[in-house]
Structures are given as structure tokens and as C-alpha cells.
Amino acid sequence: MQEEYDFSRGERGAVEPLAQGKTRITIRLDDDLLDWFRDQVHQAGGGNYQTLINRALRVYVQDRREPLEATLRRVVREELQASSESGGSRAAAGRRA
């Protein structure tokens, strides 16, 4: 070990720049969950447990998104209900005239 070190050309910040589209955060996870992800990476022969957590979250979010057909059905149902509550559609109004 040296008596003194020269840090005059040192730079502040992360040693490795973050990939574009990534944000560094602090998150608290249960120990058993973190251990599980680390074990999965170890069993796979290496990798990054943070990437595995990111993938698991992405799959969860994608599975939770409403499919287009379900969205269309919900919107049509809401519009029909709103129409019937406000006295019917224009076609029904025309029949009454």
C-alpha cells in the first residue's frame, strides 16, 4: 500500500455509466425473494439477478395489461350503459319522435 495516492485525474460518479432507459433506484426486497433470484442466477451458471428481477416485473406488467378485445368490450358496455341512463341513444330518440 502506498503512503499517498494521486486522485487528481479521478472522476466523480458511477464507474460504469448506466444503460440508456435505465434508472438507478434503491428498493427494499424481502431477503427470501432476493435469495431466490440470486439462486436462480447461480443455477443458470451466472448472470445478473437485477436483470432477472427486471424481467420478472416486465412479464408481470405485460400479463396484467388488458387485451384490446377486453378494452373494446368494456368501452362499449360503458357507453351503452351511459346512453341508457341518459335517455337512450339517438336511434331510440328518433323512434320516439
pLDDT at residue 94, rounded to an integer: 53
Show me where the domains of the chain are located.
29-65, 67-97
Per-residue confidence in pLDDT tens, the chain, 97 aa? 889 999 888 888 777 777 788 888 999 999 999 999 999 999 999 999 999 999 999 988 887 887 888 888 989 999 999 988 887 655 555 555 5
**Could you tell me the three cell numbers for 70?**
377486453
Q: How is 11-77 classified by DSSP, letter by letter?
A: --S-SSPPPTT---------HHHHHHHHHHHHHTTS--HHHHHHHHHHHHHHHHSPPHHHHHHHHHH
**Could you tell me the three cell numbers for 2?**
502506498
